[in-house]
Amino acid sequence: MSRAAPQPGIRRIADLLKRPRSERARILAELSQKDCEALLYDWSFWARPDQEPPPGDWIVWLILAGRGAGKTRAGAEAVRRWSQDFPLVNLIGATADDVRDVMVLGESGLLACCPTAERPRFVASAQRLDWPNGATSLLFSAEEPDRLRGKQHMKLWLDELAAWRRPEAFDQAMFGLRLGARPQMIVTTTPRPTRIVKALAADKDTIVTRGSTFDNRGHLARAFLDRIARRYEGRAIGRQELFAEIVEETPGALWTRALIERQRVAPEDAPKAFAEVVVAVDPPARSGARSDECGLIVAGKAGGRIFVLADCTSQGDSPAGWAARVGAAYRGFAANRVVAEVNNGGEMVAEVLRQAEPNLPVRMVTATRGKYLRAEPIAAAYERGLVVHAGVFPKLEDQLCTLTPGFDRRAGSSPDRADALVWAVADLLGLDRPSGGMIDYWAKRSL
């Protein structure tokens, strides 16, 4: 759809905003309804320069941008443009829900950014978009890498690559990027220092564009900007999530990303049967949108090693809500017991769990040392090769890699996923038992 420029010299919204308010109002008032609609959907008018595809003969355009920076819209607009000239433009998201709810139906997704005449038909049952001009977009989840085998792509949009739990999905996507004279891929993600993201950013065939949350401040609530700036500015998580830096290892942290990568296997390579499985829960003190997370980790023991199987952590649930999630994990993984930290709630925690899941075997544990000290023998177990991640757990791993000696003195920090993992591994290794476990560990250290 072509646009009618408001007047010479105004090519972008930034040009219009430089004019006095009265002149802006006059320029917009002179536009017809048809011109207004054309302008509304003209991405070349609204986009920042860093949101438009770079010039040149590139293969991968990697947008590393902070939360709310407008990277999803940039990806959707690239697909919209490609679909006008290429018959096969496919999408891959971290999960099937992410593809549907963010890339297709989201407020910055494909359906929202296309005018009615250009809008594709979403065929949910076939996981496909049918464009009015006959082009097709197949929809894939990175959690199903085998579904990508044999699939071919002319153009691809990959969203939130840093959060993909199955890295091999990226390899399958690259193998399929082979149709047409100029196959290309756009990757939109908030960065984490994963192997794939770092390798892609360093590749000579990749064009890297960076953007921060604050580049898009005109489209974000002031309260949101003030709150996140005050809480996260200057912290490693703020540099990563707001300013899109690839933050490397935290000096002095118990875990490093290299250690976790060493101790990782693909989910299908994990044992099929376990001698013991536990569900560990670190419940929040309160519910609601501002509550801490309810850390919920599933781990199993097989062949002398502990396998981290799932991170089912949630936030904002009522006690009945998170208790139901614990029960579902207990049943879904055929667990032997639930290990629950009861510092916040005491016996009430076990009672809430049993109300949601009658006869649930609950073992209650109480934290008597700081988070760092509790986690130290668990990190040592990783070093000895005793603990393995069956898959990728980005948020859990982020928390593990920030546990430093001064962690317990930080205000507002609550690594609930890491806490739950510590309880799960300690239980399966017997480290939190009165004899032969964590108590002996610390007694020996003090000698």
Q: Any idea what the CATH number is for the domain that residue 160 is in?
A: 3.40.50.300
Q: Within a 10 A sphere around the Cβ of 327, how many other Cβ atoms? A: 19
In this structure, are 17 and 68 located in the same domain? no
Mean pLDDT value across residues 175-185: 95
- Looking at per-residue pLDDT, the higher value among 217 and 345 belongs to 217
- pLDDT band, residue 44 (cuts 50/70/90): confident
Q: What is the pLDDT of residue 168?
A: 92
Please list the alpha-helical segments (H only) found in 247-406: 257-262, 319-332, 347-356, 371-383, 394-400
pTM of the model: 0.66
Give the highest mean pLDDT range of 55-69, 295-309, 359-373, 432-446: 295-309
Q: 312-340, pLDDT tens digit by residue?
A: 998 888 888 999 999 999 999 999 999 99
Measured CA to CA, the distance from residue 78 to residue 73 in angstroms comes to: 8
- pLDDT band, residue 347 (cuts 50/70/90): low
Which range of residues forms the domain containing residue 65? Answer: 49-241
Q: 7-35, pLDDT tens digit by residue?
A: 656 677 767 667 788 777 787 778 788 87
Lowest-pLDDT range of 96-100, 182-186, 220-224: 220-224
Q: Flag whether 391 is in a domain.
A: yes
In this structure, are 299 and 416 located in the same domain? yes
In this structure, are 265 and 329 located in the same domain? yes
Q: Flag whether 248 is in a domain.
A: no
- On the question of pLDDT at 441 being above 50, the answer is no
Residue 102 per-residue DSSP state:
I
Measured CA to CA, the distance from residue 251 to residue 248 in angstroms comes to: 9
Q: List C-alpha distances in Å: 151 to 28, 176, 430.
A: 46, 6, 47
- Looking at per-residue pLDDT, the higher value among 227 and 211 belongs to 211
- pLDDT band, residue 447 (cuts 50/70/90): very low
Q: Flag whether 76 is in a domain.
A: yes
In this structure, are 233 and 163 located in the same domain? yes
Q: 247-267, pLDDT tens digit by residue?
A: 777 778 999 988 998 999 989
Q: Which CATH number covers residue 321?
A: 3.30.420.240
Looking at the chain, the whole-number percentage of residues with pLDDT higher than 90 is 53
In this structure, are 25 and 57 located in the same domain? no
Strand partners, 61: 186, 207
Q: 122-140, pLDDT tens digit by residue?
A: 999 999 999 999 999 999 9
In this structure, are 54 and 28 located in the same domain? no
Q: What is the pLDDT of residue 344?
A: 65
Residues 6 or more apart from 159 whose CB is under 8 A from it? Answer: 72, 75, 91, 92, 93, 94, 98, 99, 102, 103, 187, 188, 189
Q: What is the pLDDT of residue 443?
A: 41
- Looking at per-residue pLDDT, the higher value among 307 and 413 belongs to 307
In this structure, are 227 and 328 located in the same domain? no
The β-bridge relationship of strands 60-65 and 387-390 is unpaired
In this structure, are 409 and 323 located in the same domain? yes
Residue 99 per-residue DSSP state:
I
- Looking at per-residue pLDDT, the higher value among 4 and 192 belongs to 192
In this structure, are 273 and 315 located in the same domain? yes
In this structure, are 358 and 229 located in the same domain? no
Measured CA to CA, the distance from residue 110 to residue 119 in angstroms comes to: 8
Q: 144-154, pLDDT tens digit by residue?
A: 999 999 999 99
Please give the helix or strand (H or E) that residue 203 lies within, else none: none
Q: What is the pLDDT of residue 103?
A: 98
Q: Flag whether 427 is in a domain.
A: yes
Q: Flag whether 4 is in a domain.
A: no
Q: 66-95, pLDDT tens digit by residue?
A: 988 999 999 999 999 999 999 999 999 999
In this structure, are 197 and 309 located in the same domain? no
Q: What is the pLDDT of residue 1?
A: 44
Q: What is the pLDDT of residue 56?
A: 86
In this structure, are 58 and 40 located in the same domain? no
Q: Flag whether 109 is in a domain.
A: yes
Number of domains the chain contains: 3
Domain final residue pick, 46, 67, 87: 46
- Looking at per-residue pLDDT, the higher value among 365 and 368 belongs to 365
Structure tokens at 179: 């149709």
Query: Cβ-count burial of 363 within 10 angstroms (0-12 exposed, 13-18 middle, 19+ buried)?
Result: middle
Domain final residue pick, 210, 241, 272: 241
Measured CA to CA, the distance from residue 323 to residue 317 in angstroms comes to: 9
Which of 28, 46, 44 is closest to 36 using CA atoms? 28
In whole numbers, what is the pLDDT of the chain averaged over residues?
Answer: 86
Q: 385-394, pLDDT tens digit by residue?
A: 999 999 889 8
Q: Flag whether 212 is in a domain.
A: yes
Q: What is the pLDDT of residue 289?
A: 60
Q: Flag whether 249 is in a domain.
A: no
Looking at the chain, the whole-number percentage of residues with pLDDT higher than 70 is 88
Structure tokens at 408: 């317990």
